[in-house]
Amino acid sequence: MTTTRQWTAFAALAVMTVASSTSALAQSPRDNVWSVGSSTVFPYSQAVAEEFSYTDGFSSPSIESTGTGGGMRLFCGGLGLAYPDITRASRAMKQSEWDNCQNNGVTDITELQIGSDGISLSVSRQGESFDISRAQLFLALAAEVPVNGQIAANPYERWSEIDASFPDVEIQVFGPPPTSGTRDAWVELVMEEGCESFSEVEALEEGRMEEVCQRMRTDGKFIEAGENDNLIVQRLNADPTAYGIFGYSFLYENLSALQAVTVEGVAPSQAAIGDGSYTVSRPLFVYVKNGHRGVTPGLEEYLALYTSEDTFGPDGFLVERGLVALSDAARAEEHAEAMNGAGMTRYISN
């Protein structure tokens, strides 16, 4: 068990590294693991925390859903009990986030991929499912699209205006805000890929092309629904004409009430995400502050449980909740890095 003396010594080190944290570090010691970040990874980390709560000698971890971007800001704020031990992400850490961590003394970080996930476009089982391409999704959800050979404000009001075989209902899609890693991944995997299908977009200058490919509608057809994906699920259950964008795990947990829209002929499933045939798929990450190892009670043990075969292996309890497991070799590597505190190398040369 960590002593007050250990926390005091750690606080002194953190003050030398990040002067701005002095007042926060004077607080009483925190006796549990604190994790923030992605709402997509939240149910997995929460499940591990619930299992960990049965471990003798440690307090239950605190698992907060702040979104990937919000979690990165909190995590990179500094060292010490006022800052989280772990942040979760549904996309890799950005260069700007790495720089923020470095500037605040958070220089030793372990990046762990816990598995993979898909992003689903889903609808109530009382609504209509259909098959759609990424180019058509771009037409439905981008702020600007090709119209008569020019780039113009999106004129599409109904799905059937994009393709006559689509439902003849108003376009209404609930999705994540810009702070969400799911939003980042959707833009990269769907919007940017879809916009490349149009010669009008390809003819634009680079900066303008990026704007057109990445900017979502703000005219009420795409509705930002916050970081809580369960709220989107509730809205779809209340309105069978509405569609929602969220991680596959939330679809998986609500299959009795929801159904997926297929993308280019493939429905999201653990098998399709695992083999890459479902194209709207991404890795899921956990980032660990190595300066908190040996100081935050239970941190090492929580990571050991998180990366155990009983947890994130192919027969583990996270897979039962919709996570797509990594290969045997990849899981062994992630577990070793979790235990050894392997430092990130992606941005160190920059």
Query: Which residue is listed with tokens 């923030």?
Result: 36
Please tell me the predicted confidence (pLDDT) of residue 4. Answer: 39
Dihedral in degrees, nearest 10, Cα atoms 94, 97, 103, 106:
-100
Give the per-residue pLDDT at 127: 96
3-state secondary structure of 287: strand
For residue 290, how far is the Cα from the chain centroid? 21
CA 109/CA 96 separation, integer angstroms: 15
Same fold, 4-117+282-340 and 118-281: yes
**Can you give the pLDDT at residue 347?**
55
Q: How far is CA 109 from the centre of its chain?
A: 18
In what helix (H) or strand (E) does residue 152 lie, and over which residues does it extend?
strand 150-153
pLDDT value of residue 288: 98
> Is the pLDDT reported for residue 210 higher than 90?
yes
247 pLDDT exceeds 80? yes
Check residue 227 and give its pLDDT. 72
Mean predicted confidence (pLDDT) in 238-255: 93
Give residue for tokens 């977009």: 201
Q: At what angle do helices 42-52 and 299-306 cross, to 10 degrees?
A: 120
* Fold category of 4-117+282-340 in CATH: D-Maltodextrin-Binding Protein; domain 2 (3.40.190)
pLDDT level of residue 22 (50, 70, 90 thresholds): very low
| Residue 211 main-chain phi, psi, to 5 deg | -60, -45
- In the chain, pLDDT over 70 holds for what percent of residues? 90
Locate the domains of the chain by residue range. Answer: 4-117+282-340, 118-281
Contacts of 119 (CB under 8 A, 6+ apart): 182, 185, 186, 189, 190, 245, 246, 247, 248, 268, 280, 281, 282
Distance from C-alpha of 140 to C-alpha of 167, rounded to nearest angstrom: 13
- In this predicted structure, what is the pLDDT of residue 29? 66
Residue 343 DSSP class: P
pLDDT confidence bin for 229, thresholds 50/70/90: confident
CA 332 to chain centre: 23
0.75 exceeded by the pTM? yes
The pLDDT of residue 23 is above 80: no
Strands 150-153 and 144-147: antiparallel
pLDDT of residue 338: 97
Give Dmax (Cα) for the chain.
Answer: 71
The angle that helices 328-340 and 299-306 make with each other, rounded to 10 degrees, is: 180
- Angstrom distance (rounded) from CA 282 to CA 136: 21
The DSSP element (H or E) to which 144 belongs, if any, is: strand 144-147
How do residues 96-133 score in pLDDT, each as one tens digit? 999 999 999 999 999 999 999 999 999 999 999 999 99
User: In the CATH scheme, what is the code of domain 118-281?
Assistant: 3.40.190.10
Going by the DSSP 8-state scheme, the letter that residue 141 receives in this structure is: H
Containing H/E element for 13? helix 4-17
pLDDT value at 215 more than 90: yes
| pLDDT confidence of residue 42 | 94
pLDDT at 222: 97
What is the tens place of the pLDDT at every residue in 150-201?
Answer: 999 999 999 999 999 999 999 999 999 988 888 999 999 999 999 999 999 9
